[in-house]
Amino acid sequence: EPEVTQTPSHQVTQMGQEVILRCVPISNHLYFYWYRQILGQKVEFLVSFYNNEISEKSEIFDDQFSVERPDGSNFTLKIRSTKLEDSAMYFCASMRAPGAAGELFFGEGSRLTVL
Amino acid sequence: GENVEQHPSTLSVQEGDSAVIKCTYSDSASNYFPWYKQELGKRPQLIIDIRSNVGEKKDQRIAVTLNKTAKHFSLHITETQPEDSAVYFCAASGGDDYKLSFGAGTTVTVRA
């Protein structure tokens, strides 16, 4: 069964450093997302991406965050200058299409620890 | 934007009993309501979903009901088993955007 894959599974970084989290969505999916989950809290929407551009972003997704689809398979989330409060599990997700086929598939997550 | 409220935050049930989790949403344009189960340290996994043209859906021991007028939907787990212990999230999407907005989660503990 196809699945969303994410790397790294865990990254530890110093405050102020840049971090890139990588995702490979399911191959025939068209909509891509990043969500964040701080330990013990709910899953929070960060950004959605469709047709090679951001379609929506939350207030969490400030200028320190960016996303890119550098080739036909990868979808990356970059945090330019990490803060302590960026420590969380970051989930990539993809969807084939909204509507009748609107199931969202999550990756296993990348745990980011900022020291 | 969509705001999803979920209750209760924790739920402890005896094995074999039923568990019910309730959610409300704010955006009347929302038309897709999935439920996710998340085990400790794992990704959220879809367990059941319902669309706005349906009032109830059942899959073995789990069922979901939707009241569009009242803007609330519920998850029902019958004959609970220890492996049902997890965090359950409701979510809603639709309208002009295709993102899911999640509830705060319910930690379900099934006592053997």
Q: Which tens digit of pLDDT belongs to each residue from A52-109?
A: 899 889 999 999 999 999 887 899 999 999 999 999 999 999 988 766 556 889 999 9
Interface-testing mutation among A1, A34, A42, A51, with chain B (most B C-beta atoms within 10 A): A42
What residue has token string 């409701």? B90
Query: How many residues are there in chain A?
Result: 115
* Cα–Cα distance measured from residue B64 to residue B54, given in angstroms and rounded to the nearest whole number: 10
**B1 three-state secondary structure:** coil
Identify all chain A residues contacting B100, using CB atoms and an 8 Å cutoff.
Answer: 45, 104
Q: Nearest CA of chain B to the CA of A19: how many Å?
A: 21
Pairing of strands B97-102, B86-94: antiparallel
For B40, nearest residue in chain A (alpha carbons): A40
What residue has token string 């598939």? A105
Question: What is the predicted pLDDT for the residue at B46?
Answer: 92
| Residue B95 pLDDT exceeds 90 | no
* Cα–Cα distance measured from residue A17 to residue B17, given in angstroms and rounded to the nearest whole number: 49
Work out the pLDDT band at B53, boundaries 50, 70, 90: confident
Question: What is the predicted pLDDT for the residue at B97?
Answer: 59
| Residue B96 pLDDT exceeds 70 | no
* Cα–Cα distance measured from residue A43 to residue A39, given in angstroms and rounded to the nearest whole number: 10
Q: Is A33 exposed, middle or buried (0-12, 13-18, 19+ CB in 10 A)?
A: buried
B46 bridge partner residues: B36
- Does B63 or B30 have the greater pLDDT score? B63
Mean per-residue pLDDT, B26-50: 91
CB contact under 8 A, B104 and A108: no
Amino acid in position A62 = D
CB contact under 8 A, B98 and A31: yes
B94 bridge partner residues: B30, B97
* Cα–Cα distance measured from residue B90 to residue B37, given in angstroms and rounded to the nearest whole number: 9
A75 bridge partner residues: A23
